[in-house]
Structure 1
Amino acid sequence: MHRFSAAGGLSKRLTSWDSIIIVLTVIVLIIASAAVDNFGTSRNFTFMVLDLLPIILIALPMTMIIVTGEIDLSVASVLGFTSALMGWFWNNGLSIETIIPLCIVIGAVCGVLNGFLITVLGLPSLAVTIGTLALFRGLAFVVLGDGAVADFPFSYTEWVTGTIGSSPVPNVLILIAVLALIFGIVQHATPVGRALYAIGANDKAAHFSGIRVARTKFWLYVVSGAVAGLVGVLWTLRYSSARADNGSGLELAVVAAVLLGGVSIFGGKGSLPGVLAGVVLLAALQNALRLEDVSGQALNIVTGALLVLSVLLPNIATAVRGNWHRRRLRQAAASAR
């Protein structure tokens, strides 16, 4: 019986969606390195990390939000709004050292609005964040119009696009690692993280067990807005261009990566390692297709297909794991006779 339990636990881990997506990511990286010219070069590695930077950072709080059974579709518009404000502040003489924290705070304020409408007024997160998606993007165009601001300090733009010494490792990878570690610890090793899964499984039961459901969700939206504001700053410095349309459509890629990483759209299930693998898989596929001169429309098709598969495939994996477990039970019962 002990051997059966150990084998069952091992098979469950091996057939978990986290394990599947990590193995699939490794396979895609190996195939792309062998089959796509320049994919495996150090220069391309640097560019790929810079490309996945906005997705992976926004995916960190988005993972927690979706685990609770909610969603935030306004993140890309918050990115664009803070980018536009960054350009406007710079044109009006504020120092870059003042602008960066100010934009992060304004992103958090956008999250406060989302959190208030969802947790205090009780409005559905899907409807609210679709509305604020349009609101924040519209405000971005009011602030900056169709123009662009592109004369930011070289020392800041160089840091965002530069690498550590002579290595191909981008400076921003340090930021990614630190924030991923913080979010991972909070989600998987603290009472707050356990509360997120309880809320996603059954928010009413979580409330009656003493978890402050509304307050927890409210602060998740504040953090999501702050991170989106930070990404707006990094996006602007990477391209040295503050524009109102920066980050348009990025929310689709973020949600696709989170769901591809095994987070259930219904809440209560998922892990950050799986999401990180999902982000890398999505970035690798898009990068390889770009190197093969695939059109932007085709990239959108790939992202949309992955979004559908990310909902379908985990359910298939769960069914396969259930069949495996039932077969092991039958074998154990037969051997016990």
Structure 2
Amino acid sequence: MSDASVSPRSFRGGLGKLASWDGIIILLTVVVIVAASLGVPNFGTSRNFTFLILDLMPIVLVALPMTLIIVTGEIDLSVASILGLASSLMGWFWNNGLSIETIIPLVIVIGAVLGAINGFLVNALGLPSLAVTIGTLALYRGLAFVVLGDGAVADFPFDYTGWVTGTIGGGSVPNVLIPIVALAIVFGIVLHATPFGRSLYAIGANDQAAHFAGIRVARTKFWLYVASGAVAALVGILWTLRYSSARADNGSGLELAVVAAVLLGGVSIFGGKGNLPGVLAGVVLLAALQNALRLQDVSGQALNIVTGTLLVLSVLLPNIVSSIRTSRQRRKLRQAATS
């Protein structure tokens, strides 16, 4: 082995990557999983692994398009309401005689249309995404109750409900890991290996500069909202089939967990920064913590407190770290200038 391969500079570079926010979250995720496996009864069992994947499925799938949206400096808080409306529509269509093979693509298309409404309001009319999606959060959830009311539809075909809750080859890996991996690969390639993905970072850093550089900012953001709506509807379908229950209140509060996971994974709420590996680690960390706390019989209110705390810390700590690094760089520049 050459000296260059273990030089102090390369060693410091490796430590720098490890000390990045993404690296910290990944290490923290590993620590939490190991600690929970050793200290929480039944956490490390294959059965609990299956439930853990099923629990993180809605968060990770919705987080994929949400990551791209937040990278551009926008947000979509209506995703959980689209999920609930998709579930209600699924139950209503089933009660009215449509086949499940017709319902699934139809509901996904409707989800894309709901996302397109968000995209139109934000990009064509220039309204703030926070205000728009808070409004459609209430609107879409209200429509879900109009469609299905307070009741539930629970007689979906076992071939579909059994697949969602089943495992690959009868083992401990659930079938839903297939769409999770497939969509994670697609969104990862789009964000990190295409000109379109690079344009998202440019938009998040400075959308006016991106516009003058020839990037179609409004159109790009519009299609992100369409993708977000379609994926949220898909998650509504999977959620409904997992619990074999179409309800208007399905997915309530999910947007909080999704945003917390995305920001925890290192995506800047101000846009222009973040990557999917960090987000995936943030999702696993959040899901592992919630799963471990449930096994300890912690109440739902306490879980909300944990999620909210992580959301605040995920915004606060990266900015503190960034400020410290900026101060150090300025100090070094002043020392270099005076020397």
Match of 2:57 among 53, 60, 69: 53
Equivalent AA in structure 1 for residue 161 of structure 2: T
Equivalent residue, structure 1, for 2:169: 165
Equivalent residue, structure 1, for 2:32: 28
Structure 2 Cα separation of the partners of residues 115 and 26 of structure 1: 37
- CA 1:20–1:322: 2 relative to 1, 3 Å: farther
Equivalent AA in structure 2 for residue 15 of structure 1: A
1:55–1:279 Cα contact (<8 Å) kept:
yes
Structure 2 Cα separation of the partners of residues 252 and 31 of structure 1: 25
1:202 paired to 2:211: no
Structure 1 Cα separation of the partners of residues 29 and 252 of structure 2: 26
Once the two structures are superposed, residues 137-164 of structure 1 have per-residue CA deviations (whole angstroms, 9 ceiling, x without a partner) of: 0000000000000000001000000000
Structure 2 Cα separation of the partners of residues 191 and 222 of structure 1: 19
Q: How many residues were matched structurally?
A: 332
Equivalent residue, structure 1, for 2:17: 13
1:127 paired to 2:131: yes
| CA displacement at 1:6 relative to structure 2 | 3.9
Equivalent residue, structure 2, for 1:268: 272
Equivalent residue, structure 1, for 2:283: 279
How many percent of aligned residue pairs carry the same amino acid?
Answer: 79
1:16–1:317 Cα contact (<8 Å) kept:
no
Structure 2 Cα separation of the partners of residues 314 and 138 of structure 1: 36
Equivalent residue, structure 2, for 1:81: 85
Once the two structures are superposed, residues 214-261 of structure 1 have per-residue CA deviations (whole angstroms, 9 ceiling, x without a partner) of: 000000000000000000000000000000000001000000000000
- Secondary structure at 2:170's aligned position in 1? coil
Equivalent AA in structure 2 for residue 115 of structure 1: G
Equivalent AA in structure 1 for residue 180 of structure 2: I
Give the superposed CA RMSD.
Answer: 1.9
1:72 paired to 2:87: no
Equivalent residue, structure 2, for 1:248: 252
Once the two structures are superposed, residues 12-65 of structure 1 have per-residue CA deviations (whole angstroms, 9 ceiling, x without a partner) of: 312111111000000000000000000000000000100000000000000000
Structure 1 Cα separation of the partners of residues 294 and 333 of structure 2: 48
Structure 1 Cα separation of the partners of residues 176 and 332 of structure 2: 46
Displaced runs of 4+ in structure 1, greater than 6 A? 323-331
Match of 2:146 among 142, 148, 156: 142
Equivalent AA in structure 2 for residue 286 of structure 1: Q
Equivalent residue, structure 2, for 1:156: 160
Segments of 5+ residues of structure 2 without an aligned counterpart are none
Structure 1 Cα separation of the partners of residues 220 and 296 of structure 2: 44
> What's the TM-score, normalizing by structure 2?
0.94
- Secondary structure at 1:84's aligned position in 2? helix
Structure 2 Cα separation of the partners of residues 326 and 132 of structure 1: 44
| CA displacement at 1:317 relative to structure 2 | 3.1
1:15–1:317 Cα contact (<8 Å) kept:
no
Once the two structures are superposed, residues 76-100 of structure 1 have per-residue CA deviations (whole angstroms, 9 ceiling, x without a partner) of: 0000001000000000000000000
Segments of 5+ residues of structure 1 without an aligned counterpart are none
Structure 1 Cα separation of the partners of residues 332 and 278 of structure 2: 26
- Secondary structure at 2:246's aligned position in 1? coil
Structure 1 Cα separation of the partners of residues 212 and 326 of structure 2: 31
Equivalent residue, structure 1, for 2:186: 182
Structure 1 Cα separation of the partners of residues 326 and 156 of structure 2: 55
Structure 1 Cα separation of the partners of residues 26 and 299 of structure 2: 27
